[in-house]
Amino acid sequence: MPSIPYFEIHAFADPDQAFSGNPAGVCLMEAFPDDQILKGIAASNNLSETAFLVPADAQSWQLRWFTPTVEVDLCGHATLAAGAVVLEYDLGTPGTARFDTRSGRLEVKRDGAGFAVDLPLIGYQPASRDDAIASALGIAAEPRDVLSVNRIHGAGYQMWVMDDESAVRDARPDHGQLRQLDTNIILTAPGERSDFVSRFFAPASGVDEDPVTGSAHCTLAPYWAERLGKPRMSARQIGPRPGALDVEMHGGETEGGRVTLYGHAPRYLEGRLWT
């Protein structure tokens, strides 16, 4: 196989903080090779997601996302990263990067010094608190809400809503326990410097803690929009590698709605992969 143009982009980086945001790999390919090769590249990169792009036509790309262990149906931060590469290098329609994915047509546009990515809303339903999950999360406080989230990373998926930011910041999850429970968790609360904060734990999908998770904000956005009565909100992910973004609702807070995420996507490195 010939060498592959490769980029690492730090999606949703905080412009005021170095080494922030969620690193995503972006590979430009002429055609998709065997899935085992894609999985091998993603595992070797060992980033929460690697995006693989293949031209669909002169104005759009086919886009697939892999964690180090599985292919996923939606990845927001790697879509933002892929869009940043396409737009920065003029590889598509000026002003808009268009992608055909497992989640339908997604678009990335320039937004001032940053970018905006359009994603589908991901719904949720009420769920019951589970003692085993509470223990695995390492939280002392009781959640305000426990919600079941539609699956997008191939495992059970919940959102736990806490009363204050410190409960999210101080969580010390047992990733091995969460992996055994086959459960990924969005942990969220009102923010001290933003409308809301979150962390995302996905050991059941091969990522112990994702730095800034675009797909999680497709559920966080409708929840907080309804609770705060605001269509556009500021958000921060506050784990060991933080990041910042804005979220905006479109088309209502139910299935079929859309979420726009706004953020920065600085380039960290570029080169070629040899497989």
Does residue 257 form part of some domain? no
* Ramachandran angles phi, psi of 85, nearest 5°: -65, -50
112 with 128, same domain: the answer is no
27 with 115, same domain: the answer is yes
161 with 204, same domain: the answer is yes
142 with 236, same domain: the answer is yes
C-alpha to C-alpha distance for 225 and 222, rounded to whole angstroms: 5
Does residue 243 form part of some domain? yes
C-alpha to C-alpha distance for 64 and 161, rounded to whole angstroms: 30
Q: How many domains does the chain have?
A: 2
**What is the per-residue pLDDT for 153?**
64
Does residue 74 form part of some domain? yes
Does residue 254 form part of some domain? no
Q: Please give the residue range of the domain that contains residue 20.
A: 4-120+262-273
**What is the per-residue pLDDT for 255?**
65
- Residue 49 annotated as catalytic: yes
**What is the per-residue pLDDT for 256?**
77
pLDDT per residue rounded down to tens, the chain (275 residues):
689 999 999 999 999 999 999 999 999 999 999 999 999 999 999 999 999 999 999 899 999 999 999 999 999 999 999 999 999 999 988 899 999 999 999 999 999 999 999 999 999 999 999 999 999 999 989 999 999 998 766 678 999 999 999 999 999 999 999 999 998 999 999 999 999 999 999 998 889 999 999 999 999 999 999 999 998 999 999 999 999 999 999 876 666 799 999 999 999 999 999 98
102 with 198, same domain: the answer is no
114 with 182, same domain: the answer is no
160 with 237, same domain: the answer is yes
Does residue 255 form part of some domain? no
**What is the per-residue pLDDT for 92?**
84
For the chain, how many residues are written? 275
Q: Where are the beta strands (DSSP E) in 83-195?
A: 96-101, 104-111, 114-120, 124-126, 145-149, 156-161, 183-190
| Beta bridge partners of residue 108, listed in sequence order | 97, 117
Q: Write the CATH number for 55.
A: 3.10.310.10
∠ CA(184), CA(189), CA(195), 5° rounding?
Answer: 120
13 with 100, same domain: the answer is yes
Cα pseudo-dihedral 262, 204, 98, 115, rounded to 10: 20
Does residue 225 form part of some domain? yes
169 with 74, same domain: the answer is no
Q: Residues 8, 49, 88, 248: which is the catalytic one?
A: 49
Does residue 173 form part of some domain? yes
101 with 173, same domain: the answer is no
**What is the per-residue pLDDT for 140?**
86
113 with 128, same domain: the answer is no
**What is the per-residue pLDDT for 128?**
94
Residue 197 near residue 235, CB atoms below 8 Å: yes
